């Protein structure tokens, strides 16, 4: 075990903004008092592909309180070439159903909402293609996959290796579209004053949003200010500037008054992004003891006609398990759909569902325990290129998880365990997620009264970043936390990257630590150690240091264990226990860390059992675009959930020694649950979610 | 309530009504567009933005407030129907001595992450605990006529109308039970 923490880092602490959040004082994007405010309401396209030939705004404008209706024929111009998805209200072309093609601005929400339904738009429609299939004629090989990985990789000779196998798995797994659904919709308050644009916006990083808005509106960056003090979740969908902020800024310019614009819940199903559906073929071959000789993962996903978004679905397989002969491929289809976007653990999450399911199938085929199978195939160096791992504690996670879960006495026979009307089964999956960092700037200021202020444009979307950075800052300054103030969530602060890719704490704390260290040094050198009356500030930027990191394979790891109970009569699945053990470097704040991990695991459970975007090909849109029909896990679904982490010191990460916790909790969870469903019932569900109709006819008879 | 067509201010819509409603103990005499939901009246007219709009369709629970002591979804109620009624929002939960036991327990047990569903969870929990005190059964209550014991299963079932995408659910259950035990 590591030594107990000596400073603030490593100690649990309630969120700094906790009181504001439980009293209603915390202000989100459309909650700032603004004089003379108006309301924007976005109007979605009713055609999946075509051209707008006529916009009749007269009935909408006739409604009392309506100020204007913006559309491609009258909206302020944006700079082309910045982001095709954000080039809104500029052209008559419709690329997907639900694309925002007009915005009503009115004195009240009620008027805006009613008028939005009165805007009449006629389209010249063209036939559309919106269904992903492995037989789609438009399948192509993109030049790279997100964010910058090779599209395909190959080592050894997979075909020869596979042909020679003793034990083979060849299975195709499918995942549907998933919708991020943060509880706070994408929302913005926008106002223009003297050529400057100020927005309060719900996003995961206001420095990048500021940069995008500046480009779109042809402004110097300093003429745009983006505030994101409190953000009601994002899960990737608010990773960069999205439609709401652009529409609000356009509308505010048009009516020359402040505009509040929040998307409706229904409008979050598509136009702001979603996780692409995937079709994944995984092939594994192994010797009779389960040692993998060859592995191949072929992933198909979709993108739009606007922007190429290539989910890195098979990248997970490149570095996860051993095997001499390996191949991964990615193919895409451009469909008449909204552009997919980031959702919690993009790539790793759907990819791990496929690979970790195939590993379970291999375990069954070899007669090897699924924990032991993963241990046997733990590589010494990154199988993708041979780089050393900065640390790799997957095996330790599996062992510790198995011990805590009580895995040892498991009878591997499917359908063997019953408890009254319930069929009971257990499953396991591995998980990994890259541990990366981005450059960031920060300042640390000492005041003459012995207090300190640390400033960085980090964003706390609910992760606990504000609190964690405050703890990190105190230790870096070498003072008690009570003397430190942290400021985040405003593009006027030193620029930093998004809360995404599990990079937030690693990247931001890097800059905070360097700023704190720098300030301590300056104070040591100051005459008599005194702080001047106007304070003493040190500003840092970690760009050079981050770039100079030596190339290594850096990953967080985890092992997920699930116990499920399947009703033998109805096929209802209950997850009676979910347990994860993680190795993710140091943990800054155990209180918020645990919350993030169980949150990720629960979203994985939601993926396994509840979530499914159902597309209606006739209209080219999802039919279940609200919470009544797109189900997410609720309180009653989470019975017993446990998250633990191993002490892990990795000197090759970043000054704080953290790997990030935002995504690792979701990776592998769905496979652990479907593997447990197989163990309980003998039914292997290869297309998520596990609905009872997929089990019912195949359940063992009583 | 004095309803009827009002002229003069088109911003109020074609139809508006006067309504006297008490919010967090303060009386308000409002002229409201008949289309205004309680949620929008709170947020846009009274500046009480603690109540959140997550779906505007009664499907997420973020807008939950107490109406005459019972939990309701404020996005599903037209404000002009509330003449003479009493509304309590998250801003009204704290007492003069600071946070209520529920609020304090939510902070102490980290029963939220992004905080957007939290005001609704808190109001819902307040109403739910009062329902349990009155022995109202839920779908998981064994004896429908007997006293209700506040178990984890009861809390989970009764709080499932309040979605939390961050999935702070287990901490919400712990916080509610801790607060209930301290009351």
Q: Decide if pLDDT at A607 tops 80.
A: yes
> Does the pLDDT of residue B2 top 60, yes or no?
no
pLDDT by residue (tens digit) across A434-443? Answer: 999 999 999 9
- Of A691, A420, A411, the C-alpha closest to A683 is A691
CA A382 to chain CA mean position, Å: 24
How much is the pLDDT for A475? 97
Q: Which residue of A has its CA nearest to B121?
A: A22
Residue of A nearest to B10 (CA): A64
Backbone angles phi, psi at B124, to 5 degrees: -65, -45
Q: CB-based contact (8 Å) between B91 and chain A? A: yes
Q: Is the pLDDT of residue A518 over 90?
A: yes
Cβ atoms of A432 and A316 closer than 8 Å = yes
* Average pLDDT of the segment spanning A654-674: 98
pLDDT surpasses 90 at A165: no
State the pLDDT at residue A65: 96
Residue ranges of alpha helices (H) inside A273-366 are: 315-320, 348-366
* Chain position carrying tokens 């990789």: A153
- 96-135 in chain B: CB under 8 A from chain A: 99, 103, 106-108, 110, 112-119, 122
- pLDDT band at residue A528 using 50, 70 and 90 as cut-offs: confident
Per-residue model confidence (pLDDT) at position A482:
97
Question: Of all residues in chain A, what percent carry a pLDDT higher than 90?
Answer: 97
**What is the mean pLDDT of the segment spanning A686-693?**
96
- Average pLDDT in chain B: 93
What pLDDT is stored for residue B14 in this prediction? 58
Give residue B96's pLDDT. 81
pLDDT per residue over A423-474, tens digit each? Answer: 999 999 999 999 999 999 999 999 999 999 999 999 999 999 999 999 999 9
Each residue's pLDDT tens digit, A297-309: 999 999 999 999 9
Q: What is the pLDDT of residue A3?
A: 55
Tell me the backbone φ, ψ of residue B28, rounded to 5 degrees. Answer: -130, 130
**Beta carbons of A69 and A59 less than 8 angstroms apart:** no
Confidence of residue A361 (pLDDT cuts 50, 70, 90): very high
User: Any CB–CB contact under 8 A between B60 and chain A?
Assistant: yes
CB contact under 8 A, A182 and B91: no
Of B44, B108, B156, the CB nearest to A109: B44
Q: Which long-range contacts (CB under 8 A, 24 or more apart) does A215-221 make?
A: A215/A79, A215/A82, A216/A78, A216/A79, A216/A82, A216/A83, A216/A86, A216/A241, A216/A246, A217/A78, A217/A79, A217/A249, A217/A253, A218/A79, A219/A195
CB contact under 8 A, B160 and A64: no
Q: Report the gap between the CA of B79 and the closest CA in chain A (Å).
A: 12
Q: What is the mean pLDDT of residues A115-134?
A: 98
Which of A19, A183, A230 to probe the B interface (max B CBs under 10 A)? A183
The pLDDT value recorded for residue A6 is: 72
Residue A222 is a catalytic residue: no
| Partners of residue B103 in chain A, C-beta under 8 Å | 22-23
pLDDT at B5: 42
pLDDT at A527: 79
Report the alpha-carbon distance of residue B74 to residue B77 in Å, rounded.
Answer: 5
Name the residue among B36, B49, B93 with its Cβ closest to that of A27: B49
Q: Which of A111, A183, A250 is nearest to B40 (CA)?
A: A111
Q: Which two tokens stand for residue A453?
A: 């202020």
Residue A591: which pLDDT band, with cuts at 50, 70 and 90?
Answer: very high
From A114, A348, A563, A663, the catalytic residue: A663
Q: Does residue A476 surpass a pLDDT of 90?
A: yes
By C-alpha distance, the chain B residue nearest A233 is B114
Q: Is B52 on the interface with A (CB under 8 A)?
A: yes
Q: Does B151 touch chain A (CB under 8 A)?
A: no
Task: Read off the pLDDT of residues A30-83 as tens digits, 9 standing for 90 and up.
Answer: 999 999 999 999 999 999 999 999 999 999 999 999 999 999 999 999 999 999
* Predicted pLDDT at A530: 84
* For testing contact with chain B, the best of A106, A635, A638 (most B CBs within 10 A): A635
- Mutate one of B64, B115, B162 to test the A interface: name it (highest A CB count within 10 A): B115
Tell if the CB–CB gap between A19 and B99 is shorter than 8 Å: yes
Nearest by CB to A599, from B14, B108, B168: name it. B168
Judge: A464–B113 Cβ closer than 8 Å, yes or no.
yes
ipTM value for the complex? 0.97
Contacts of B14 in chain A (CB under 8 A): 64
Tens of pLDDT, residue by residue over A335-358, are 999 999 999 999 999 999 999 999
Helix or strand run (H / E) with residue B112: none
Mean pLDDT of chain A: 97
What does the pLDDT average to over A102-118?
Answer: 98
Q: Do B103 and A602 touch (CB under 8 A)?
A: no
Q: In the β-sheet with A50-56, what is the strand arrangement from edge to edge?
A: A93-94, A50-56, A120-125
Contact state of B59 with A628 under an 8 Å Cβ cutoff: yes
For residue A679, the distance in angstroms to the closest alpha carbon of chain B comes to: 26
Per-residue pLDDT, B4: 41
pTM over 0.90: yes
Question: Percent of chain A, pLDDT > 70?
Answer: 99
């Amino acid at each position: 075990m590591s030594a107990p923490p000596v400073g603030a880092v490593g100690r649990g602490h309630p969120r700094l903004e906790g009181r504001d959040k439980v009293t209603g004082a915390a202000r989100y994007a459309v909650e700032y008092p603004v004089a003379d405010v108006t309301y924007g309401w976005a109007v979605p396209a009713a055609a999946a592909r075509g051209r707008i030939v006529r916009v009749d705004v007269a009935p909408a404008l006739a409604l009392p309180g309506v100020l204007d209706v913006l559309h491609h024929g009258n909206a302020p111009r944006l700079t082309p070439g910045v982001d095709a998805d954000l080039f809104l209200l500029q052209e008559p072309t419709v690329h997907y159903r639900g694309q925002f093609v007009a915005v009503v601005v009115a004195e009240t929400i009620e008027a805006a909402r009613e008028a939005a339904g009165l805007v009449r738009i006629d389209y010249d429609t063209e036939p559309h293609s919106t269904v992903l299939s492995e037989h789609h004629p438009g399948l192509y090989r993109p030049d790279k996959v997100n964010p910058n990985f090779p599209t395909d990789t190959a080592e050894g000779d997979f075909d020869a290796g596979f042909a020679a196998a003793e034990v083979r798995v060849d299975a195709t797994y499918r995942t549907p579209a998933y919708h991020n659904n943060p509880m706070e919709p994408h929302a913005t308050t926008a106002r223009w004053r003297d050529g400057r644009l100020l927005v309060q916006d719900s996003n995961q990083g206001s420095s990048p949003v500021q940069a995008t808005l500046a480009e779109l509106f042809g402004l110097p960056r300093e003429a745009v200010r983006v505030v994101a003090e409190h953000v009601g979740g994002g899960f990737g969908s608010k990773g960069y500037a999205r439609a709401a902020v652009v529409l609000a800024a356009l509308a505010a310019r048009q009516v020359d008054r402040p505009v509040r614009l929040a998307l409706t819940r229904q409008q979050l199903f598509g136009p702001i992004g979603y996780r692409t559906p995937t079709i994944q073929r995984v092939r594994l071959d192994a010797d009779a003891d389960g040692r993998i000789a060859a592995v191949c993962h072929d992933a198909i996903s979709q993108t739009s006609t606007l922007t190429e978004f290539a989910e890195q679905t098979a990248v997970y397989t490149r570095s996860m398990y051993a095997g001499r002969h390996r191949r991964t491929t990615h193919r895409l289809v451009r469909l008449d759909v909204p552009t997919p976007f980031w959702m919690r653990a993009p790539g790793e999450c759907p990819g791990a569902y496929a690979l970790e399911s195939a590993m379970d199938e291999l375990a069954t085929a070899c007669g090897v325990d699924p924990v032991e199978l993963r241990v046997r195939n733990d590589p010494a160096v990154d199988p993708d290129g041979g780089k050393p791992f900065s640390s790799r504690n997957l095996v330790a996670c599996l062992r510790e998880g198995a011990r805590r879960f009580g895995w040892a006495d498991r009878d591997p026979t499917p359908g063997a365990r019953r408890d009254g009307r319930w069929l009971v089964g257990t499953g396991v999956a591995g998980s990994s997620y890259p541990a990366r960092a981005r450059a960031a700037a920060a300042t640390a200021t000492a005041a003459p009264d012995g207090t300190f202020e640390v400033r960085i444009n980090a964003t706390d979307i609910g992760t606990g970043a504000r609190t964690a950075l405050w703890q990190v800052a105190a230790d870096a300054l070498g003072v008690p936390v009570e003397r430190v103030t942290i400021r985040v969530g405003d593009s006027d602060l030193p620029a930093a990257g998004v809360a995404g890719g599990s990079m937030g704490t690693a990247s931001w704390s890097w800059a905070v630590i360097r700023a704190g260290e720098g300030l301590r040094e300056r104070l040591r050198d100051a005459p008599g150690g005194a702080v001047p009356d106007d304070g003493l500030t040190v500003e840092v930027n970690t760009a050079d240091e981050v770039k100079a990191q030596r190339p290594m394979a850096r990953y967080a790891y985890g092992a997920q264990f699930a116990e499920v109970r399947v009703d033998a009569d109805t096929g209802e699945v209950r997850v009676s226990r979910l347990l994860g053990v993680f190795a993710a470097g140091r943990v800054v704040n155990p209180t918020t860390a645990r919350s993030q991990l169980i949150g990720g695991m629960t979203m994985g459970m939601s993926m396994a059992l509840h979530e499914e975007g159902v597309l209606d090909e006739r209209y080219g849109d999802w039919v279940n675009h609200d919470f009544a029909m797109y189900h997410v896990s609720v309180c009653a679904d989470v019975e017993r959930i446990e998250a633990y982490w191993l002490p892990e010191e990795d000197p090759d990460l970043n000054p704080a020694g953290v790997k990030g916790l935002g995504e690792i909790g979701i990776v592998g969870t769905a496979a652990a649950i479907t593997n447990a469903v197989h163990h309980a019932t003998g039914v292997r569900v290869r297309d998520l979610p596990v609905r009872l109709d997929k089990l019912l006819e195949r359940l063992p008879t009583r | 309530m004095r309803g009827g067509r009002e002229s003069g201010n088109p911003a109020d819509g074609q139809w508006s009504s006067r309504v006297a409603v008490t919010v967090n103990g303060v009386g308000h005499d409002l002229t409201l567009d008949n289309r205004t939901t309680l949620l929008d009246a709170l947020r846009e007219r009274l500046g009480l933005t603690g109540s959140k709009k997550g779906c505007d369709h009664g499907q997420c629970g973020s807008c939950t407030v107490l109406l005459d002591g019972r939990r309701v979804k404020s996005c599903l109620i037209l404000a002009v129907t509330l003449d003479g009624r009493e509304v309590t929002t998250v801003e009204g939960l704290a007492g003069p001595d600071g946070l209520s036991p529920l609020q304090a327990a939510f902070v102490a047990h980290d029963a939220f992450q992004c905080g957007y569903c939290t005001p609704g969870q808190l109001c819902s929990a307040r109403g739910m605990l009062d329902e349990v005190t009155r022995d109202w059964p839920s779908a998981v209550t064994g004896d429908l006529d007997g006293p209700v014991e506040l178990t984890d299963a009861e809390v989970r079932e009764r709080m499932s109308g309040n979605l939390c995408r961050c999935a702070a659910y287990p901490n919400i259950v712990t916080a509610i039970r801790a607060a209930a035990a301290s009351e």
